Chains A and B, each alone.
Chain A
Amino acid sequence: MSIHAPLTVTGGKLVLPDGRIEAGNIRCEGGFITAIGDVSPQAGDIVHQAGGKLVTPGLVDVAVFSIDKPAFHFGGVTRAALMPDQDPPLDVPARVRFAAQSGKPDFWVHPLAAATKNLEGDSLAEIALMRDAGARAVATGRSWIRDSGTMLRLLQYAGMLDMVVVTHAEDSGLVGKAVATAGEMATRLGLPSAPAEAEALAIARDIALAELAGAKIHFRKVTTAAGVDLVRRAKDRGAKVTAGVSPAYFMLSDLALANFRTFAHLSPPLRSEADRKAVIAAIADGTIDMIGSGHDPRGPEDKRLPYADSAPGMAGSETLLPLTMTLVRDGVISMNRAFDLLAGNPAKLLGVNAGCLAEGKEADIAVIDPDRPWIVDSDEMAAAAGNTPFDKQPVQGRVLALFKGGMAVKAKKPAF
């Protein structure tokens, strides 16, 4: 039970789960939303004037690699699913339990249990014990499980526990040590590359195995035309498949690798322009269910290296909202759908009582100006490191206020 005063957010435009955006107020008590719409603050309430801006659910960032509260709070993120690729990995209950408690009270971490011991892809980890310690799903980590027998048993076991398996979709045999997608850019730069089909092969196998096991599977990042098409067809026939993506894959193509920019070194690697457009189409038609940042801040020791020697990953939580807003402005998706992608659907994936503005939900709320312009600056980010391929890019969309469980979150670092 929360002991802080109730909160009423007034004068905002509420982004509601039924698709409406309506002027109204929202009242929270005991950490939960208790009333929405034509409600007034009561005596003793903390009142926040939204000033006509959007009032939205706090973002739920799926599959981040680091708990980086300043960056999350800047980006309007109130919860994040933490990938098991930690040092040491989240493959035992004690580490999962510790991770689950690590962000509270103003940020909640939902650990994803390592599917296999030490994330090596060989032996199943103690998934049920980790579930009871707070794990919200099972994840294969940064890599794909090469052995199809192991993957099938994982899906069967996770299915029995009603846990979704979050997987990385790249056939490791094809990928090898590739750092780029095979194509003109990789060829010109002389970078080790793998065909984009590595993704489709992994997705095809894992969908087949998930259907065989009757299990739920989530592809963390689907980044190719062939990949989204496989997911689309699987959904059409009723498979329990969901898909995610990060903004880099609908904003950038492999042209961003020019001059060996290691900030554009991601996993999976950036794809062709045709794939980028296919991802946008898949977001528009509902094939892709959620957009996460994959937040992975990395400093110069990981990035100021020759391209192939640098570590993949980007700091993403600060740019997650504004980059998704570009899809709204371009007419690809509605504003409500944007928050389904950023909050509602990720909350459903994790099975948490948040992600939308409805009575009874936990009071994770953001006040957002979707049009406010700003310029991404890798030197001035709230994140632990500024490794973003969007450096110096103008964007629109800023979080003005953030509430976790009905309590105002105080950003530790002022906005730039």
Chain B
Amino acid sequence: MTSPEFTYPEGSAAFPHRGLVGIAGLAPHEIMFLLDEAQQWVELNRHAQKRRDLLSGLTIINAFFENSTRTLLSFEIAGKRLGADVVNMAVATSSVKKGETLIDTAMTLNSMRADAIAIRHGSSGAVQLIADKVDCPVINAGDGQHEHPTQALLDALTIRQAKRAFNGLRVTICGDILHSRVARSNILCLTSLGAEVRVCAPPALMPADIERMNVQVFHDFDAALRNADVVMMLRLQLERMQGQFIPSPREYRHLYGLSLERLAKAESNALVMHPGPMNRGIEIDSNVADLVDRSMITTQVEMGVAIRMACLDVLTRKARGLEGWA
């Protein structure tokens, strides 16, 4: 089922982390291990019988302190396909943002003896804060502008499916880099695996010193697209912007929208990716998003379930007493 490109250390040495708070801190072989583990679930998910009861009897809590549809659903499906009891806890951000409440919530979840918790929160570092307080593995489902590691892993799996290798691959990430946790995790993940990453945004949406993360910085999208093998578009997160970052969505589209004409500047077989939800007609045109042979957007969603299954499986092996993991 798995098709590892190379051999990994035995047992938990292959992935010695207690949880998955970010891509930062993961070695390249640990990332590859998760991708290879996910590969088997990609294949399983394409069969009619999708269920494996590996996590039977385990309780997985999805604690989402920020609105989400696809990520929550992806984690829920992943847990259920592995036979776990999955509980979704959607909490309005306003009620838990201040005071001890977040810690209290973590302690409550801990007391309920969850076996793994996936957390999404609007503040950078919130997941780490909870992870430090609970006994079970914590998976970061997106924290503020910090990291979204499972998104980066599913993006990497998507790219690997199509391009086979990362070394030397030119990946252009365009959009609201400043507010994007997806961009940060992808930069860490793809550069770690040997890809050449370019980031493109207007200056106001580009974080300071991002070149220190081993990326090339562009403000001209056409230049950033030249010879790109993968074009990863980000959603313009107008809701995160306090103050005016761009003159208008119309002008943003003029400079940074991915049209068919623009896509032609990339390699002829360049992949088009988007973490969703898309602002069609702003950062990406519909006729690009719906390109049958080039657009990976639905594949990304498919890989998301497999990656989350892999994370849940790997991170609960110790609790399940698997040989080499206990």
Contacts and interface: CB of A to CB of B under 8 A. Distances in A.
A and B associate: yes
Interface of A: 176-177, 182-184, 186-193, 195, 259-260, 300-301, 304-309
Nearest to B98: A309
Interface stretch (B80-88, B143-151, B218-226, B282-290): B143-151
B100 A186 contact: no
Given A183-B209, A304-B103, A305-B102, 11 more contacts: A176-B243, A182-B209, A187-B210, A187-B213, A188-B184, A259-B128, A260-B124, A301-B99, A305-B98, A305-B123, A307-B125
A29 to B, nearest CB: 52
B48 interface: no
B309 interface: no
B123 A186 contact: no
A245 to B, nearest CB: 23
Given A306-B124, A308-B123, A309-B97, A186 B207 contact: yes
A16 B128 CA distance: 50
B208 A190 contact: no
A190 B121 contact: no
Nearest to A194: B208
Contact of A193 (B129, B143, B208): B208
A182 B209 CA distance: 8
Interface string B107-137: 0000000000000010111101100000000
B181 interface: yes
Interface string B128-166: 110000000000000111110000000000000000000
Given A187-B207, A309-B123, A304 B147 contact: no
Contacts, number: 80
11 contacts: A182-B208, A182-B209, A184-B208, A187-B210, A189-B146, A190-B181, A191-B144, A260-B129, A305-B123, A306-B143, A308-B123
Contacts of A304: 100, 103, 129
Nearest to B211: A184
Given A184-B209, A193-B208, A300 B100 contact: yes
Nearest to A299: B100
Contacts of A184: 208-209, 212-213
Contacts of A192: 145
Nearest to B209: A184
Contacts of B121: 306
A190 B145 contact: yes
B146 A190 contact: yes
Nearest to A260: B125
Q: Which of B123, B184, B213 has the most CB of A within 10 A?
A: B123
B93 to A, nearest CB: 11
Contacts of A306: 102, 121, 123-126, 129, 143-144
A249 to B, nearest CB: 19
A108 to B, nearest CB: 34
Contacts of A259: 128
Given A177-B242, A184-B212, A189 B124 contact: yes
B319 interface: no
A182 B207 contact: yes
A11 B126 CA distance: 55
B244 to A, nearest CB: 12
A119 B217 CA distance: 41
Contacts of B124: 189-191, 260, 306-308
Contacts of A260: 124-125, 128-129
Given A176-B242, A176-B243, A182-B207, A188 B213 contact: yes
A253 B123 CA distance: 22
B27 interface: no
B125 A195 contact: no
Contacts of A187: 184, 207-210, 212-213
Q: Which of B99, B143, B213 has the most CB of A within 10 A?
A: B99
B92 interface: no
Interface in B199-214: 207-210, 212-213
Contact of A191 (B24, B99, B145, B212): B145
Contacts of A186: 207-208
